Structures are given as structure tokens and as C-alpha cells.
Chains A and B, each alone.
Chain A
């Protein structure tokens, strides 16, 4: 009965979403406050219903109710409780439920914290969220119903895909979806603003916290996914330019552009049309990603199962929402007035450059991702566009952006002094080169290009600090005064510095790993050793082991550096019983920012085993940088200014209109 109630709650949430779609929009159009007041109630109601439904599905997984087809296909009574929970979204139906849950969560958040928005804007935003929700609930109920039943219930489940039996599944998809779906709010803001025809600096201020929140979660989600793939797949790689990775990376790039252009719009009321377009495109890319992953067009670990009817349905959603929004945009864009003027060399100019490069890069990734599919459907030829393509195009295109990043915050609005900024950054450039040459020497050479790359990374980091240095006035005013000024800086300025610094850290990790990593594939017998990155790995032997739902052959290794023991590593090959599926658990040991990585291969008939070892210098930086970017996002999000007109201040304001008008 509980299960059926979950389905009913889901269906009822569709009805609520339809109410949310219609009444508030009509209210905003007719200026009817009562109809508009339905919006927050409906959004919260929808959230409660979806939460009930999602909770019921989770309950079914927890108690291993195999009368639910979804549980039977993707769970097993013996897997640890954590995987029973995370297994809820480790499959198509469940992941769509998570998608919907987070979409409803964002609608509810807008309803709760949107007190600073004009009533009609809030009503329209929630209505647009209602449209998206309605489309996806319909999709779930009609093509991906997670509450399908089987009677009589099978005795045992078919197990969660062993690759997914990892903490990563508990963290990566929710974070990623918080980002992916979070951009729906920006989309709704854009569509709402276009419907009202009122797009101004204040709109940019209101949309920014949502873009920032979504961006922050997406950054975390992508980084987490990358680290998960790195340690789980046992291939030693951390980014594969896999179409599914690209599908999450494209909204991130567009979202990054959106964050920056919204800044220009808020400060100068320039780039209005562009910002609205970006808000639409960013979520469109999220939808496109959902389509690519969920329709079975792509094959990857993410494509759980394919069913053509789903693909067509999502494609229809995609076409209606993207097409509709862009049509509305085309109708209204002409009526938007141009904003403030600025010189090419100015903060605005720098942000335009940022936008240009980010969108062109996004387009490149999009082409590389879609071209093989387009070619196949047109000519039947099958090609693969792999990492070399993306490394060449994306890498080169990003280069000027990375060079320009430290300049941005140093330039003044409207008209700026490029030479002055360059002088201020002189120290960053010099520091970059000194540190790069030091690292190069320390790592015993390597490609000369690596020196330039590492110099670039440190230039980014020092450049980010340079901005804070000059804003604080260090060197000009007494140290304590400068510190106080630093503490008094707007949070968003500190957040910017963090994010740019984090970018530098990630670049450092990427360059260092590509340039200095060492790899060895050897066959080893107990007692034999292999060397990588100055460490000597000795194979101690294999041992059989037993997990809750798998058996494993665990290889134990000891690691020494210069004759001194620094610890043990073990890697194992597991066979998961229910699916008889083998996996490799890599052994990873972290030394500072670097890692030693061991993956087992095949057992040889003579008792040896193939072992793959890597020394990955500075690899932690890749994800650590993302964490710093994320911290920057949160710091910026805590900026008081993003909540201007928030409920606390509103009490005062409600009584104030007449007063303000008199001003």
C-alpha cells in the first residue's frame, strides 16, 4: 500500500504542477495578487508530494521490496544499506526521480526565499518551473514509472551494477543534479522576464544567487564524478571527454559565462540580451545532457537502459522548451534597450572576452560531442571523436582565457588602464616562472612546455591573490589597516579571488600530471619490485577475501622510498556474485598532493599477475582546485547584497512604497 501511495503522490504532484503552471501565470498577466499567491503554495505542495514519492521509492529499496520492478532490477537484499539508498538513483527511473526531486526542491526554494522578488516575477518564475516539472513528471509516469510492480515478487534482486557500488554514487549524482537542475531557475527567470518584457539590472541581481548556487554544485558534482571515475574504473584517468562527461561540462562552461555576464548586466545594465540568452542556453544544455544520457543515444556507464519511446519523449520536451524559450526570446529581444557603454579595455570588456571564449569553447565541445551522432544518422558512418580532438581545440581555445583571468578583477569598470594592470601582475608572472622552473628541476626535467604550463598555473594563483593585495592596499597602508580592509571587502570579491585561485590550482594539477606522471605495466610475482616516481613497489602476495556480496583476490604491496618503508597498498579484483561481474578496485596512496596508484590486471597461469602502477604528481590539485572554486562560490553566495530585499528587510519595505515614491 505504501508503494502505491508513492505512485499516487507522484501523479498528484503532476496535477499540482499543472495548477502551478497555469494560475500564477494568469495572475501575473492580469495583475491578480490572489492568483499569484497560489504559486508558492503550489510549489511547496508539489515539493512535499514529490518528496513523499521519492521517500517511498527509497523505502522500497531499503526494505528490498522486490514486488517493485525497479528494486528488483537494481538492488539486492545483501548490499550494504548505503548502496540500497544510493541505488535508488543508480538506474534510469530512480535518477529521473532524483532529477524531479531536485527540480521541485529548487521551486520550493524560490517560493521560500524569493521574498525579495516582485510578485509577478516570482509568480512567473514559479509557473515556468511548474511547466518544466509537469513535463518531467509526465515523462516519468508514462515512460519511466519507478513504481511498476511484479507479482508474484521475485525472490531476490538482480543487484546494483557493481561499478556503482561505491560512496561515489551517494555523492556524485545529487551534487551534479543540484547543479544541472539548479540552472532551471535561471531559465525560468529568463523566460519570466521575457514574458513580462522587463529586464533590467535588478533582474540580474536577483538571478545571480541562483546561477551561483547551481554553478557551485555543478563544479562540485563534476569534480566528484571525475575523482570517482579516477579511482573506480582503475584506468588511472580522471577525465575521458566521454560524451556524458561533456554533457555535464557544457552547462558548466555556459553557466560560468552566465555568472560573469550577469555581473556586467547588474553593474552596467549592458549585455542584457546576451545574459538572458545565456540563461536559456545553459539550461538547454542541461536538458540536452539529460536527453543524451537518458535516451540511450549514448552508451556509457551512465546510460542505464535504452528505450526509444523515452528518447522521443525527452526530445519532445527538449524541442518544446528550448524552441519555445528561443522563440519568445526572438520576439522580445528587439524591444530590449541597449545598456551602458564601455571601452574595449575595461572590466566589461574583460568579461565579454570571458564570455566569448567560454561560449566558443562550449560550442567546440558541443560539436565534438554531437558530430559523430549527426554523421551516423546522416551517412551511417561511425566515427569516434576522442580526447585528442578536445585536448587540441578546447585546450588551445582556453589558453587566452587563462592568460586573461587575473586581469579581469584588476580592471576598472567602463574604461581601464591595461598597462597599470599588467604592471600589477608583473610579480605574478615572475613568481609563476620561478616556481615553475623550481618544480621542473625537482621533477627531474620533463617537457619544456610543462614549464610554461606550470608558470601559467602559478600566475593564475598569484594573480588572484594580487587582486586581494591591491584591494586591501597592502604595502600602501599599514598592514593592520590593510587586513581590516581585506576583511571588509564584499564577500563576492573574496569569492572571485578564491574561484580564480582554485582554477589555477586545477590547472597546476592537470599540467603536472600530464607532464610528469610515470606509468609502468609489468607482470609481477610475489617478491618482485617495480619502480615509479622514485618509489619502489614490492609485490607481497595475493589473498582471497570475502565481502558482503562479492569475493575478491586482494594483492598486497609494500612501498618504499630510498629504502625506507612508507606504507602498504592493496588493490583487488572482485567478482560480484549476483551478476557474476568482475571489477577492479585500484589501490591509491596519497603523498602530499601526489598519488601512487596501483591497479591489478589478469592473473597469469604461472602465478604472476599483471600490475599497472602510476606515479601521479600533483594530481590531487585537480580536485582540490575545484573544491577551492566551490568554496569561492559559497563565499560569494553568502554576500549580503545578493539577498537585498530579503524577507527581513521586506517588513520595513511593505510600509515604504509611498515613502520611496516621494523620493
Chain B
């Protein structure tokens, strides 16, 4: 309400200021040319000064005086005519049109355009006030903690506090940094090392790289039964294509964990996949490119933990469909096609795998290096390449 009062006051004030010159008694228009006369007189005086100071010769001064004098005369002449005319012209109305224009356009544009672009009633939100009264806004509390940590970077407890929050909020880079700081200050622990490893995996789109495996190994050296580290190390083996070893590692994990541990279904799924893979696909396919779109990220894996088998199947289907869409929009992605063909083959959708292969070969002709690889991959799963185009 106060806002609208202020708005009206400002608008009214402006209108009054703009209307005032119109309502005043008709001002006498100063002669247009009398201003010129002033300038030329000054020029004349300057020539005199320069001549007196000896800066210009008397001959030059005379020329200049003559020239300026001509301008001065013509302007003075016009100025005198003007003043006569100006007196006569000053019988004007009070400008009803102009008044209406001002009175209409100020609110019309002001209010109209404001309502179009503004957020009437939106409150201010200066940070200090929000921090003083954060309520239960987690992100704000996190920001508060961040500011505290930037000023007190050696507060290990603070880093320990924020690190898992970052991880949950899918800010793996910040999480990894927080875990590292916590490790620096308070030393290594299973929780910190495991968290660090997970953060690194997440920031690499699911790839368990050597940095991550180092962290998990260290965690395992502190606690031989840390399931999270075991899981990721096994997953690393799977990504490297060492299927047999990965299978063994997953099976060991399944055995050592309690039968109702929340990660059992996920482990079981990996075991199932690996058993299928090792029996059907020949080894030596090379590692999957973890950067390729469609690879499950750590977050997807986390999501899969809570899913039933049917949901999980659905998730995989969705991921494959998403990959297919991406490739349709953007076919120049060899790794992506390789994944797609393999995925359909694994899902036992031979027709779709064939279609995918056909589309892939449009971008990567069968006689090209990539094309040959695609055909070879499909052949492994018993999928025939469509008519090879010349």
C-alpha cells in the first residue's frame, strides 16, 4: 500500500512540475538572434585584444573585424525584427492539448509498463536481514556456514558439517573441497575419505577415477568393512572392463553385507549385469566412455538404491530413450552410438538396436573406422548391419 502511495506521490509531483511551465503567464520569448549578437560581439572584442597584444597583424585584424562585423550586423538586424514579431505572437492559450498529454502519458506509461515488467508488492530481501532471520531455509543456513568458513577456513567441524550437505545437494565440487579441508584439519576418517571419493565420482559424471579409488582404498585401510568403498572399487573395476574381477568384488560385497542392507538390490543388479555381460559379450570391448551421455551418474545410482526392480528397469529404459533422443538431435557422437547399440542389445531389443545401428551408420559410414567398430559391436550381439551403403 505504502508503495502505491509513494508511486502516486511521485507521479503527481512530476505532473505538477511539468505542467507548471504551461500554466505560467506566456513568457516573452527572448530573441533568437540576440544570443548570436552576444557571441559576435565577444569575437570582436577578442580580435581587438589579439591585435593590441600583437598576436595578429593590424591587417589581419581588419579583415577579421570586417568579417565578424558582417555577421554581427545581419544577426542584429534579424534580432530586431524578431523582438517585434515575438511580442505579437505571445497570445497563446493555456495549452489544453499539452496538458492532457502530460496528465495522460505519465500514469499510462508509468503504471502500464510497470505492471508489465515489475513485481508489485514484492518485498526487498537484503542479505543481512535474511541471515538474521533465516527460518528453516537450508540453503541460506548453508550460505551462512559458507561465509563463516571463508573467514575461518581452519574450522574443521564446520567443513565436516557442510560437506555431506553439499553432496546431498549435488554440488560435488564444493563437497570434494569441503571433505579435503576437513581431512586437512581433522585428519582422515572413513566417512571423510568415502565422502571425498563419492564427491569425485559425482563430479566426474559417475566415473570412478584413480583419485577416487585412492580415497576409497584409504578408507578401506581404515575400516576393512566399509561397504561404500567396496562398492565403488568394484564399480571401478567394472568401468575398466575387468568384468570378472568386478563380479568377484560385488559378490564378496553382497556376502559380507547384511542381507537387508539397503545397497543389496543395487549390488545384485550389478552382479546380474556382469554375469550377463561376461557370458554374452566377449571381453576386451574396452572401457565404456563414462563421459558419454546416458552413463548412469552417481546420483542415478543413488536413486536406483531406493527403487524396486520394475522401477529400475523403467529408469534404465528412460536413460536409454534419453540417449536416443540426444543422439537424434546431435548425431555426431560416436561413443554415444556405441552405448546406444550396446544398451538396446543388452535390453534384448534387437530391432531397436538395428535401427540405432542404421542411424549411426548415416553419420559414420560403414567403411569408416568408427563405422567398422559399430558393425563389429553389433555383430557381437548378433545384430546384422542393414544394407551397407556405398
Q: Do chains A and B touch in the complex (CB under 8 A)?
A: yes
Q: A-side interface residues toward B, CB under 8 Å?
A: 1-5, 7-9, 11-12, 14-16, 18-19, 22-23, 26, 31-38, 41-42, 45, 49, 60, 63-67, 77-78, 116-121, 141-142, 145, 147, 149, 151-156, 198, 200-202, 205-206, 267-269, 340, 412-414, 471, 473, 485, 488, 490, 546, 549, 577, 580, 641, 644-645, 649, 653-654, 656-658, 660-663
List of B residues within 8 angstroms of A267 by Cβ = 43
Q: Say yes or no: B113 contacts A151, CB within 8 Å.
A: no
Q: Say yes or no: B64 contacts A413, CB within 8 Å.
A: yes
Bound complex: CA A269 to CA B71 (Å): 10
| Nearest CB of chain A from residue B190's CB, rounded to whole Å | 28
Q: Say yes or no: B35 contacts A202, CB within 8 Å.
A: yes
Bound complex: CA A535 to CA B272 (Å): 71
Q: Say yes or no: A7 contacts B80, CB within 8 Å.
A: no
List of A residues within 8 angstroms of B3 by Cβ = 1, 4-5
The contact string, 1 if C-beta is below 8 Å from chain A, for chain B 343-361, is 0000000000000000000
Bound complex: CA A559 to CA B24 (Å): 73
Bound complex: CA A549 to CA B149 (Å): 11
Q: Say yes or no: B106 contacts A12, CB within 8 Å.
A: yes
List of A residues within 8 angstroms of B89 by Cβ = 31
Bound complex: CA A614 to CA B11 (Å): 59
Question: Using a CB-CB cutoff of 8 Å, which residues 81-136 of chain B contact chain A?
Answer: 83, 86, 89-90, 92, 95, 98, 101-102, 105-106, 108-110, 113-114, 117-128, 130
Q: Say yes or no: A657 contacts B79, CB within 8 Å.
A: yes
Q: Say yes or no: A34 contacts B117, CB within 8 Å.
A: no
Question: Using a CB-CB cutoff of 8 Å, which residues 8-22 of chain B contact chain A?
Answer: 10-11, 14, 17-18, 20-22
List of B residues within 8 angstroms of A201 by Cβ = 39-40, 43, 71
Known contacts A34-B22, A119-B32: does B83 contact A149 (CB below 8 Å)? no
Bound complex: CA A157 to CA B113 (Å): 28
Q: Say yes or no: A34 contacts B27, CB within 8 Å.
A: yes
B76 at the interface (CB under 8 A from A): yes
| Nearest CB of chain B from residue A120's CB, rounded to whole Å | 6
The contact string, 1 if C-beta is below 8 Å from chain A, for chain B 39-83, is 110110010000001111000100110010001000111011001
Which listed residue (A15, A18, A65) contacts B125, Cβ 8 A?
A65
| Nearest CB of chain A from residue B297's CB, rounded to whole Å | 21
Q: How many residues of B contact A (CB 8 A)?
A: 84
26 contacts between A and B (CB under 8 A): A11-B118, A14-B113, A18-B105, A18-B109, A19-B102, A32-B95, A34-B21, A36-B29, A41-B18, A41-B20, A63-B127, A65-B126, A67-B124, A77-B147, A78-B150, A151-B122, A201-B43, A202-B40, A269-B67, A580-B173, A653-B34, A654-B30, A657-B30, A657-B31, A660-B37, A661-B83
| Nearest CB of chain B from residue A527's CB, rounded to whole Å | 28
Q: Say yes or no: A7 contacts B53, CB within 8 Å.
A: no
List of A residues within 8 angstroms of B277 by Cβ = none
List of B residues within 8 angstroms of A549 by Cβ = 150
Bound complex: CA A644 to CA B41 (Å): 10
List of B residues within 8 angstroms of A23 by Cβ = 98, 101-102
Q: Say yes or no: B114 contacts A660, CB within 8 Å.
A: no
List of A residues within 8 angstroms of B27 by Cβ = 33-34, 37
Question: Using a CB-CB cutoff of 8 Å, which residues 182-215 of chain B contact chain A?
Answer: none
| Nearest CB of chain A from residue B62's CB, rounded to whole Å | 12
Q: Say yes or no: B35 contacts A64, CB within 8 Å.
A: no
Interface centre among A16, A18, A121, A202 (most CB of B within 10 A): A202
Which listed residue (B18, B126, B142) contacts A64, Cβ 8 A?
B126
List of B residues within 8 angstroms of A662 by Cβ = 80
Q: Give the secondary structure class of B's interface.
A: helix
B318 at the interface (CB under 8 A from A): no
Q: Say yes or no: A116 contacts B54, CB within 8 Å.
A: no
List of B residues within 8 angstroms of A120 by Cβ = 32
B155 at the interface (CB under 8 A from A): no
Known contacts A4-B119, A64-B127, A155-B142: does B34 contact A644 (CB below 8 Å)? no
Interface centre among A9, A11, A413 (most CB of B within 10 A): A11
Known contacts A201-B71, A641-B42: does B63 contact A149 (CB below 8 Å)? no
Q: Say yes or no: A153 contacts B130, CB within 8 Å.
A: yes
Q: Say yes or no: A45 contacts B110, CB within 8 Å.
A: no
Which listed residue (B39, B106, B139, B147) contacts A202, Cβ 8 A?
B39
Known contacts A11-B110, A155-B139, A657-B79: does B130 contact A41 (CB below 8 Å)? no
B36 at the interface (CB under 8 A from A): yes
Q: Say yes or no: B17 contacts A12, CB within 8 Å.
A: no
Beyond known contacts A19-B102, A23-B102, A35-B22: 8 more, CB 8 A cutoff: A4-B118, A12-B11, A15-B109, A116-B38, A155-B142, A156-B143, A268-B67, A649-B38
Bound complex: CA A580 to CA B203 (Å): 15
List of A residues within 8 angstroms of B119 by Cβ = 4, 149
Q: Say yes or no: A641 contacts B46, CB within 8 Å.
A: yes
List of B residues within 8 angstroms of A15 by Cβ = 105-106, 108-110
Q: B-side interface residues toward A, CB under 8 Å?
A: 2-3, 6-7, 10-11, 14, 17-18, 20-22, 24, 26-40, 42-43, 46, 53-56, 60, 63-64, 67, 71, 75-77, 79-80, 83, 86, 89-90, 92, 95, 98, 101-102, 105-106, 108-110, 113-114, 117-128, 130, 137, 139-140, 142-143, 146-147, 150, 153, 173
Bound complex: CA A35 to CA B3 (Å): 32
Q: Say yes or no: B35 contacts A65, CB within 8 Å.
A: no
List of B residues within 8 angstroms of A413 by Cβ = 60, 64
Bound complex: CA A654 to CA B124 (Å): 51
Q: Say yes or no: B39 contacts A11, CB within 8 Å.
A: no
Bound complex: CA A654 to CA B22 (Å): 21
Q: Say yes or no: B14 contacts A16, CB within 8 Å.
A: yes
Q: Say yes or no: B24 contacts A37, CB within 8 Å.
A: yes
Closest to B42 in A: A644
Q: Say yes or no: B153 contacts A546, CB within 8 Å.
A: yes
Bound complex: CA A201 to CA B17 (Å): 35
| Nearest CB of chain B from residue A525's CB, rounded to whole Å | 26
Q: Say yes or no: A645 contacts B35, CB within 8 Å.
A: yes
| Nearest CB of chain A from residue B245's CB, rounded to whole Å | 32
| Nearest CB of chain B from residue A209's CB, rounded to whole Å | 13
Which listed residue (A118, A473, A658) contacts B83, Cβ 8 A?
A658
List of A residues within 8 angstroms of B126 by Cβ = 63-65
Bound complex: CA A644 to CA B46 (Å): 12
Q: Say yes or no: B117 contacts A11, CB within 8 Å.
A: yes
List of B residues within 8 angstroms of A149 by Cβ = 119, 122
Bound complex: CA A181 to CA B166 (Å): 47
Closest to B57 in A: A412
Which listed residue (B30, B71, B75, B117) contacts A141, Cβ 8 A?
B117
Q: Say yes or no: A119 contacts B20, CB within 8 Å.
A: no
Bound complex: CA A155 to CA B138 (Å): 9
Bound complex: CA A200 to CA B140 (Å): 65
List of B residues within 8 angstroms of A3 by Cβ = 122, 124
List of A residues within 8 angstroms of B105 by Cβ = 15, 18-19
List of A residues within 8 angstroms of B46 by Cβ = 490, 641
Q: Say yes or no: B36 contacts A202, CB within 8 Å.
A: yes
| Nearest CB of chain B from residue A542's CB, rounded to whole Å | 18
Q: Say yes or no: B30 contacts A119, CB within 8 Å.
A: yes
Bound complex: CA A413 to CA B62 (Å): 13
Known contacts A4-B120, A12-B14: does B22 contact A38 (CB below 8 Å)? yes
Closest to B45 in A: A641
Q: Say yes or no: B147 contacts A78, CB within 8 Å.
A: yes
Bound complex: CA A106 to CA B142 (Å): 46
Closest to A546 in B: B153
Which listed residue (A1, A26, A200, A412) contacts B124, Cβ 8 A?
A1
List of A residues within 8 angstroms of B146 by Cβ = 156
List of A residues within 8 angstroms of B6 by Cβ = 5
Bound complex: CA A142 to CA B175 (Å): 39
List of B residues within 8 angstroms of A78 by Cβ = 147, 150
Q: Say yes or no: B34 contacts A660, CB within 8 Å.
A: yes
Interface centre among A12, A23, A36 (most CB of B within 10 A): A12
Bound complex: CA A118 to CA B40 (Å): 14
List of B residues within 8 angstroms of A1 by Cβ = 2-3, 123-124
List of A residues within 8 angstroms of B75 by Cβ = 200, 202
List of A residues within 8 angstroms of B143 by Cβ = 77, 155-156
